Structure 1
Amino acid sequence: MKKFINRVDDYLAESLAGFAAAHADLVTLNVDPVYIMRKSLKPGKVAVISGGGSGHEPLHGGFVGYGMLDAACPGQVFTSPTPDQMMAAAQAADTGAGVLFIVKNYSGDLMNFEMASELCEMPNATVLVNDDVAVENSSFTTGRRGVAGTAIVEKLVGSFAESGADLEACRAFGERVAGRIASMGVAFSSCTVPAAGRPTFTLGADEIEIGVGIHGEPGRRRAKFETANAIADELLTAIVQDLKPAADAPLLVLVNGLGGTPLSELYLLYNAARTWIDGRGLNVARSQVGALTTSLEMAGASITLCTLDDEMTRHWDSPVHTAGLRWGM
């Protein structure tokens, strides 16, 4: 295993210390229990909080800041944060309007966020993200997995909360957004969890995993290596069959890198996706290309489509100032 690392047991603590020092203008780091907090909270605003296992950066800590999250709870690599982290973050972030948790559909995340929700004294609500169309169930989930679409939910709901919406309105908006998102990914290689010290799975030199999960969970099938156009066709066919967008529906297209794919290849994949979408008379209104929801150093990418309406488009375009996303300010 070759990684920038001192001791495996210190991997997360040292990474978070570096993140907090690099972005001290945006965030503060609480170490016991661990959570990342927006440096300047807005009184009377619904606090938007997410979290999950580390290894998916910039999700979630990289999205703490103006227009997105107020706090994020990082667990160990690919391991859910604990209820005490979530409760402490909620108590610190709540400024009187309650707390909205955004949770990816993984068994550990669901269990621990539900426990924290029940124990929190302030009003709170939860939005569940389950955008992966690759498989219905996996070793980590009952139902569909939450993957790169989570970044879209956090951006739109974060902006909605920033505008002054109350807790119930934020929950309802978040559920509407989550219901309009579908994603699917492909892996060219595995990743190595530091504590394991070896790749999570093995692919042959000419093999890819279609529909891979962000923790390396198996997808729909193991396949021979294909062209970018063929991969885009398979991913988008599954996504559009699930999402069923109207021909005139404005689409947000996200091409997301899984950690080990050069940006030039992500743009090439976006070109393939855009050509596919245009060829079917669908309407690309917004696009985002980059690594927003990664899987350590896994080579591969995912494609996400979100059907926008005017309100959602306005909140996508609104200013955001975080370590991982920044525009309009």
Structure 2
Amino acid sequence: MKKLINAVDQVENQMISGMVKAYPHYLTKLNCGNVVVRTEKKSGKVALISGGGSGHEPAHGGYVGTGMLDAAVAGAVFTSPTPDQIYEGIKEIATDKGVLMVIKNYTGDVMNFEMAREMAEMEGIKVEQVIVNDDVAVDNSLYTVGRRGVAGTVFVHKIAGALAETGADLEEVKEVAEDVIANVRSMGMAIRPCTVPAAGVPGFELKDDEMEVGIGIHGEPGTHRETLKTADEITDMLLDKILADLDYSGAETAVMINGAGATPLMELFIINNRVADVLAEKGIKVYKTFVGEYMTSLEMEGFSISILRLNDRLKELLDAPADTPAFKA
């Protein structure tokens, strides 16, 4: 295993410390594990918290700031944060308007966030939650009951965070988050695996001419493994599945081409070239496109496509100002 680390048991701590030192005007670290909160605390508005295992950077700490999250909780690599850590994050950001938890649909995340919610509610904090399940690849996986939450979660952070900045009530912010979840679909693939530092070996093996289709963000198996195809053929395969799952006919959309951690931007733009052409051929208008690394899987080589069906309200909130280390609008 070759990694630029100091010690396996310090990876997450040193990563978060380095992030906070890079962005002190955005982020402050709590003394209760790897929990980061906005340096300038919000008041009189709904606060948002999200998180999950480390290894998906810039998710989730990179999205803490104006117009998105108020706190992010980082567990060990690909491991859910503990209820205590999440609870401390909720307490730190809570306002009289309440807190919305944005949870990706993984069994450990859902269980631990819900336990933290119960602890916070016992302290009189009003908490609601949404569960993101945008991955169309598989209905159940090693980590989930139901569909996984993947890169479409970033759209939930952005749009719900934008509405929260307007002073909307908790129920309204939850409603718009659920609107995004209902209208976003994603699917990914990989051509090379990643190595979790604590494991020291790749999570799976692929031959030089193989690819894994429908892979999860923790390296979970997808729908199948097959011989590597061209970028256009792979893109068509993923798009076929996404477009068959939700009717995008005549809709305006936001598109995210998300790198898995080790995929060159050159290749991501080649993917987007095909996505844009296919959507245009089908009469689906692309309102806004995002290409880059938004929710990674350490150094996995691959990508995912997320497509969000927009309406006027979602467009307005997508365009609203945001200022975070990893996302600006």
TM-score computed with the length of structure 1 as normaliser: 0.98
Which letter does structure 2 place at the counterpart of 1:270? N
Which letter does structure 1 place at the counterpart of 2:133? N
Which letter does structure 2 place at the counterpart of 1:46? V
Which letter does structure 1 place at the counterpart of 2:20? A
Which of residues 156, 172, 175 in structure 2 aligns to 1:172? 175
The Cα shift of 1:223 comes to 1.0
User: Which residue matches 1:226?
Assistant: 229
The Cα shift of 1:28 comes to 0.5
Q: Deviations over 1:90-116 (max 9, x none)?
A: 110012111100000000001001111
Q: Deviations over 1:273-329 (max 9, x none)?
A: 1111111111111111010000000000000000011111111111111111113xx
Moved beyond 3 Å, runs of 4+: none
Which of residues 199, 220, 232 in structure 2 aligns to 1:196? 199
Q: Secondary structure at the match of 1:314?
A: helix
Which letter does structure 2 place at the counterpart of 1:203? L
Which of residues 306, 312, 316 in structure 1 aligns to 2:314? 312
Q: Distance in 1 between matches of 2:164 and 2:71?
A: 13
Which letter does structure 2 place at the counterpart of 1:134? A
Q: Secondary structure at the match of 2:192?
A: coil
User: Which residue matches 2:109?
Assistant: 109
Q: Distance in 2 between matches of 1:7 and 1:34?
A: 16
Q: Distance in 2 between matches of 1:243 and 1:68?
A: 26
User: Which residue matches 2:15?
Assistant: 15
Q: Deviations over 1:168-199 (max 9, x none)?
A: 11111111111100000010100000000000
Kept in 1, the 8 Å contact 2:216–2:222? The answer is yes
Which letter does structure 1 place at the counterpart of 2:266? S
Q: Distance in 2 between matches of 1:95 and 1:107?
A: 28
The Cα shift of 1:34 comes to 2.7
Which letter does structure 1 place at the counterpart of 2:10? D
Q: Distance in 2 between matches of 1:199 and 1:323?
A: 29
User: Which residue matches 1:252?
Assistant: 254
Which of residues 134, 141, 164 in structure 2 aligns to 1:138? 141
Which letter does structure 2 place at the counterpart of 1:174? A
User: Which residue matches 2:244?
Assistant: 241
Which letter does structure 2 place at the counterpart of 1:306? L
User: Which residue matches 1:2?
Assistant: 2
Q: Distance in 2 between matches of 1:134 and 1:60?
A: 23
User: Which residue matches 1:325?
Assistant: 327
Kept in 2, the 8 Å contact 1:256–1:290? The answer is yes
Which letter does structure 2 place at the counterpart of 1:43? S
User: Which residue matches 2:100?
Assistant: 100
Q: Distance in 2 between matches of 1:31 and 1:261?
A: 35
Which of residues 297, 300, 318 in structure 2 aligns to 1:298? 300
Q: Distance in 1 between matches of 2:196 and 2:277?
A: 36
Q: Distance in 2 between matches of 1:230 and 1:293?
A: 23
Which letter does structure 1 place at the counterpart of 2:58? P
The Cα shift of 1:33 comes to 3.3
Which letter does structure 1 place at the counterpart of 2:34? V
Kept in 2, the 8 Å contact 1:33–1:84? The answer is no
Kept in 2, the 8 Å contact 1:67–1:321? The answer is yes
Q: Deviations over 1:152-178 (max 9, x none)?
A: 100000101011111111111111111
- Tell me how large the CA RMSD over aligned residues is: 0.8
Q: Distance in 1 between matches of 2:206 and 2:216?
A: 15
Kept in 2, the 8 Å contact 1:33–1:88? The answer is no
Which letter does structure 2 place at the counterpart of 1:283? K
Which letter does structure 2 place at the counterpart of 1:177? V
Report how many residues are paired.
326
Q: Secondary structure at the match of 2:117?
A: helix
Q: Distance in 2 between matches of 1:288 and 1:89?
A: 29
Kept in 1, the 8 Å contact 2:16–2:34? The answer is no
Matched, 1:62 2:79: no
Q: Deviations over 1:184-222 (max 9, x none)?
A: 001010000000000000000000000000000000110
The Cα shift of 1:83 comes to 0.6
TM-score computed with the length of structure 2 as normaliser: 0.98
Q: Distance in 1 between matches of 2:193 and 2:180?
A: 30
Matched, 1:216 2:256: no
Q: How does 1:33-44 map to 2 (within 5 A)?
A: 33-44=33-44
